Homo-oligomer: A and B are copies of this chain.
């Protein structure tokens, strides 16, 4: 423990701020952290439902509202929540002031509705914190160089919180939400799902990107970049929580951390594409131009100068993507474009995957034992994914959870005891103490 006061950034999501009673609960959490001798800066989301209400108002007027105006509109949700929390803290006898993104300022680029943070001035926040005032910052929003209000995209308040923690060099960033952390898989699918006390940034990124909707992906990337220890806690009474820290600080070095299921998947197959250089580019470029996210890509070995080209897109984008691809297929003389909707993606995620070649074999054996046919495969440093028939999705999750013994702490026989330790791992530092349960 430091002699100095610790600085903690606390972020509360929309369900935590849903009404004035819950805001009182939030205020009690903040006040307790302050009274324990810490400096506290708070980031809030809009009250649950408020952002959707404002977006509905906007879309009831126009299907294509100017995003500058939509940002000005929806950013009010967080401003309201921040002011209400500051009022509640004041009632409890704590000096508090709300701040909008413009007031800090949180400077972003010009991309309305999904702006990226460029710079964050901390002068005013530092001054306020030094005066013993609790700043309550409206998440999700910033201001561009023109002085226009911007927003950071859905879940952007997580990113606001991490950015503020990074800029203030906070000891940690606590994310309060309606779950009590990260699990080995969705407990609704697999009752054996186990709560994780720790996970590395990289593992969390793979989990978050695959639908474990605990944190906005960008917030984890930012935390990783600036080495901000993150902890996910429940606003609703659970004592469990999950630390998201750098790889070297993860105590429990199991190879596989979790299994995820992504349902929003469609497949596009371009059949008998003439196998010439640049074909993949020609097929995928029009999709990229419209920001349609292409995920798994497979190109089969060429037979008599032709190949089949397969990839997945979000199910909501299938119609648009199909039309674009059909046009290219006609141009390049492909035989046919087929699509399939009834598929899902199941993934095993873990830091040990790249150094443990047995993981893939164990995964596909387990699926085969249940007669689950694998249609597509992709791998990354921390992830192996398989596309399978939708009807086997939940069975596959339970099967893999059991195969990797995720219900056991440390994965039984898959304990990663032979992995080389990172040289920094033994270095003392605040983030090594992060799972002590104390406020650092």
CB-nearest residue of chain B relative to A80?
A: B76
CB-nearest residue of chain B relative to A76?
A: B76
Indicate if the CB atoms of B61 and A87 lie closer than 8 Å.
yes
Interface size on A, residues (CB 8 A): 38
Indicate if the CB atoms of A91 and B103 lie closer than 8 Å.
no
**0/1 interface trace, chain A 223-235, chain B, CB 8 Å (1 if under):** 0000000000000
Q: Is A423 an interface residue (CB 8 A)?
A: no
| Binding stretch for chain B, among A63-71, A154-162, A341-349, A356-364 | A63-71
Indicate if the CB atoms of A73 and B62 lie closer than 8 Å.
no
For A84, the chain B residues whose CB sits under 8 A away are 57-58, 61, 73
With most chain B CB atoms within 10 A of its CB, the pick from A69, A86, A100 is A69
**0/1 interface trace, chain A 72-109, chain B, CB 8 Å (1 if under):** 11001001101110111011000011101011000000
A84 to B102, CA, bound (A): 20
A88 to B147, CA, bound (A): 22
Indicate if the CB atoms of A80 and B54 lie closer than 8 Å.
yes
Q: Is A60 an interface residue (CB 8 A)?
A: yes
CB-nearest residue of chain B relative to A66?
A: B90
Indicate if the CB atoms of A72 and B100 lie closer than 8 Å.
yes
- Taking A61-B91, A66-B90 as contacts, is the C-beta distance between A79 and B72 under 8 angstroms? yes
Indicate if the CB atoms of B58 and A73 lie closer than 8 Å.
no
Indicate if the CB atoms of B61 and A20 lie closer than 8 Å.
yes
For A147, the chain B residues whose CB sits under 8 A away are 103, 124
Indicate if the CB atoms of B73 and A80 lie closer than 8 Å.
yes
- Taking A72-B79, A76-B76 as contacts, is the C-beta distance between A87 and B100 under 8 angstroms? no
For A205, the chain B residues whose CB sits under 8 A away are none
For A100, the chain B residues whose CB sits under 8 A away are 72, 149
For A82, the chain B residues whose CB sits under 8 A away are 72
Q: Is A23 an interface residue (CB 8 A)?
A: yes
Indicate if the CB atoms of A61 and B79 lie closer than 8 Å.
no
Indicate if the CB atoms of A87 and B58 lie closer than 8 Å.
yes
A75 to B147, CA, bound (A): 18
A76 to B124, CA, bound (A): 22
**0/1 interface trace, chain A 119-137, chain B, CB 8 Å (1 if under):** 0000010000000000000
Indicate if the CB atoms of A88 and B62 lie closer than 8 Å.
yes
With most chain B CB atoms within 10 A of its CB, the pick from A20, A57, A83 is A83
A20 to B54, CA, bound (A): 12
Indicate if the CB atoms of A23 and B90 lie closer than 8 Å.
no
Indicate if the CB atoms of B80 and A66 lie closer than 8 Å.
no
CB-nearest residue of chain B relative to A79?
A: B76
A142 CB to closest chain B CB, in angstroms? 14
A294 to B72, CA, bound (A): 42
A54 CB to closest chain B CB, in angstroms? 7
Indicate if the CB atoms of A87 and B102 lie closer than 8 Å.
no
For A68, the chain B residues whose CB sits under 8 A away are 97
Indicate if the CB atoms of A98 and B83 lie closer than 8 Å.
no
- Taking A69-B97, A87-B69, A88-B62 as contacts, is the C-beta distance between A57 and B103 under 8 angstroms? no
Indicate if the CB atoms of A72 and B57 lie closer than 8 Å.
no
Indicate if the CB atoms of B98 and A72 lie closer than 8 Å.
yes
A70 to B61, CA, bound (A): 29
A60 to B19, CA, bound (A): 11
A64 to B80, CA, bound (A): 17
For A61, the chain B residues whose CB sits under 8 A away are 20, 23-24, 84, 87-88, 91
Q: Could you list some 24 contacts between A and B, CB below 8 A?
A: A20-B57, A20-B60, A23-B61, A24-B61, A54-B80, A57-B80, A58-B87, A61-B88, A64-B91, A65-B90, A66-B86, A66-B90, A66-B96, A69-B97, A69-B98, A70-B87, A72-B82, A73-B83, A73-B84, A76-B76, A76-B79, A76-B80, A103-B148, A103-B149
| Given A61-B87, A64-B91, A66-B86: 13 more A-B contacts, CB < 8 Å | A20-B61, A61-B88, A62-B90, A65-B87, A65-B90, A66-B90, A66-B96, A69-B97, A69-B98, A72-B83, A73-B84, A102-B102, A103-B148
Sorted nearest first, the 3 A-B pairs with minimum C-beta distance are A73-B83, A76-B76, A62-B91
